Structure 1
């Protein structure tokens, strides 16, 4: 899922994810898709993934979609279509699972911002892997942002704009998920190919 892929084509994945989020914003399915801890505990496991795709209002949706496109544009050289699709799916799943097991006090959640933090961290680590020193700055920046949020809470203006508390827990889970997935990818890709002769 990295190594400066030649001729990357992540745009189809972005278009499909954007369309899905817009569709879900107006589909009236929040009752069945929102991340709700009680419902997940009752067996509605799809909410671990689908809650990330919903948004509190139009501003929330627009900010997350803009963030998604900017983050992928910055690191587009690392992804082909299927690689980005797989990475996003894994981040979506880890985000939901991480919130469920790591933050039992969080009863409900919507938004893609946690996944965006993971995607940003993963891309920064890909930059570092191919020797781009700017990756260290990007990784340090997102890490310091998340630490600051854990200590100080979310931005008050953002809370007002999205009409909900900023779930800083999601940003932490996303960051850790991105680092974990990069470590797993690095480990798997460094193993010798037993089929090679």
Structure 2
């Protein structure tokens, strides 16, 4: 059995779990890598990406990693290892940039959930481009879900479970980032048909 893009999920899972365990051992891990607006303003730009890889507690970590594997299972056929690697890094960067420039009041953030919304949105747009009708329903679902969060906030149960406020702003930024990446890929394929997935 070829693992293909599942290798990326495995690497990300091990990286996130490793950073979480390391953070339990020494708080300097979180201090060094978490998205912190003030530190980014001081030139610590890596936090735009690395903040996505940290988590508040083990429930937060497990939920996000489960989400990663589920989203990838739904859309694995759209990805090569190289393509998914680039997309993952790009979505993490766009997440950080979107939060930094779009939400100056958000001082700190950790977690994969924003990037996961982007990965899901990208996948459903690729479904639609491949003439899969289910893509339209999934796209509507994620738009309704994120829209509801913007109006009413996240579930209080999830907030209690992860021990922090759910950054619904990150979900919106992720959704928009995924749609932008899907549009860019569509245009790239249209203009240069030999571009790999």
Secondary structure of 2:144's counterpart equals: helix
Runs of 4+ in 1 over 6 A off after TM superposition: none
Q: Aligned equivalents of 1:111 and 1:142: distance in 2? A: 18
Tell me which residue corresponds to 1:4: none
Q: Aligned equivalents of 1:193 and 1:155: distance in 2? A: 43
Deviation at 1:92, TM superposition (A): 0.3
Once the two structures are superposed, the pairs formed by residues 3-152 of structure 1 within 5 Å of their partners are: 9-28=4-23, 29-152=29-152
Write 1 or 2 for the structure with the bigger share of helix: 2
**RMSD over aligned Cα atoms:** 1.3
Q: Are the equivalent residues in 2 in contact too, given 1:8–1:77 (CA < 8 A)?
A: no
Q: Deviations over 1:8-27 (max 9, x none)?
A: 81011111111000011011
Q: Are the equivalent residues in 2 in contact too, given 1:118–1:175 (CA < 8 A)?
A: yes
Unpaired stretches in structure 2, ≥5 consecutive residues? 24-28
Secondary structure of 1:27's counterpart equals: helix
Q: Aligned equivalents of 1:192 and 1:171: distance in 2? A: 31
Q: Are the equivalent residues in 2 in contact too, given 1:8–1:78 (CA < 8 A)?
A: no
Q: Aligned equivalents of 2:19 and 2:105: distance in 1? A: 26
**Aligned residue pairs: how many?**
188
The normalised TM-score by structure 2 is 0.93
The normalised TM-score by structure 1 is 0.93
Q: Deviations over 1:54-98 (max 9, x none)?
A: 000000000000000000000011011111111100000000000
Q: Aligned equivalents of 1:35 and 1:23: distance in 2? A: 18
